[in-house]
């Protein structure tokens, strides 16, 4: 269902909704991995905010690690070829690995990353994504842990950016990209709590 947006953006997931869902995901992961010590891998930069909250909701002896990858260029957008800009600091051979993503859109980036990680022979490899834009999926993916299904809209906040801004919004906004293209600072009032609920 298409909802109309009043103004340049509207709140898609509030801070309270996100907090509650992250807590549920953490509890599920804690149950599923009881007796094991998983490694949670975040893909920089967007996934870092979600990872930081998620690990505090998991009561296991976990480890974290970070990777940074280049996004494929528009134009060869179904090649799915990405470059690893920063690799993991640890060997994940024999480990139970969970890749923590902010959003899965076409799935091309993540499916490339999963095959690169699979080649390192982890004991298991699963995905935890806060947002799943399932309507846009090109590469079929098994997302074991999913926060919310996300409409086919551009979203920012809680780690997600527009030209590196707005990652620090504690909620998720769906935005009018035409407005942002005209004025990338159009949503600064949301950062200052002047628009929309901060909770």
Interface residues toward ligand IMP, by CB under 6 A: 46, 102-110, 154-156, 160
- Smallest distance from the beta carbon of 35 to ligand IMP, in angstroms? 31
Specify whether 65 is catalytic.
no
- Taking the least distance from each CB to ligand IMP, the nearer of 102 and 176 is 102
User: What is the secondary structure of the chain as a DSSP string?
Assistant: -PPP-SSSEEEEE-HHHHHHHHHHHHHHHHHHTTTS--EEEEEETTHHHHHHHHHHT--S--EEEEEEEPPPPTTSTTT----EEE--SS--TT-EEEEEEEEESSSHHHHHHHHHHHTT--SEEEEEEEEE-GGG--S----SEEEEE--SSEEEBTTB-BTTB-TT-SSEEEE-HHHHHH-TTTTHHHHTT-SS---
Q: Which is nearer to ligand IMP, 58 or 155 (CB)?
A: 155
Residue of 76, 78, 91, 105 with catalytic role: 105
When the beta carbons of 38 and 107 are compared against ligand IMP, the nearer one is: 107
Minimum distance of ligand IMP from residue 191's CB (angstroms): 16
* Shortest Cβ 138–ligand IMP spacing (Å): 8
Active site (catalytic) residues: 105
């Amino acid at each position: 269902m298409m909802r109309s947006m009043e103004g340049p953006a509207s709140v898609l997931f509030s801070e309270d909704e996100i907090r509650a869902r992250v807590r549920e995901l953490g509890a599920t992961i804690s149950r599923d991995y009881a007796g094991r010590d998983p490694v949670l891998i975040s893909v920089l930069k967007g996934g870092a905010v979600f990872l930081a909250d998620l690990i505090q909701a998991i009561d296991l002896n976990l480890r974290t690690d970070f990777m940074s990858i280049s996004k494929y260029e528009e134009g060869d957008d179904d090649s799915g070829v990405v470059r690893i800009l920063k690799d993991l600091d640890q060997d994940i051979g024999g480990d139970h690995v969970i890749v923590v993503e902010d959003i899965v859109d076409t799935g091309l980036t993540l499916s490339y990353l999963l095959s690169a990680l699979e080649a390192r022979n982890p004991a298991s490899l699963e995905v935890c994504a806060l947002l799943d834009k399932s309507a846009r999926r090109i590469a079929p993916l098994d997302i074991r842990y999913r926060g919310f299904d996300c409409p086919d809209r551009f979203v920012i906040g809680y780690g997600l950016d527009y030209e590196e801004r707005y990652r620090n919004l504690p909620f998720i906004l769906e935005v009018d990209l035409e407005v942002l293209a005209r004025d990338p600072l159009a949503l600064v009032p949301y950062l200052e709590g002047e628009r929309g609920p901060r909770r």
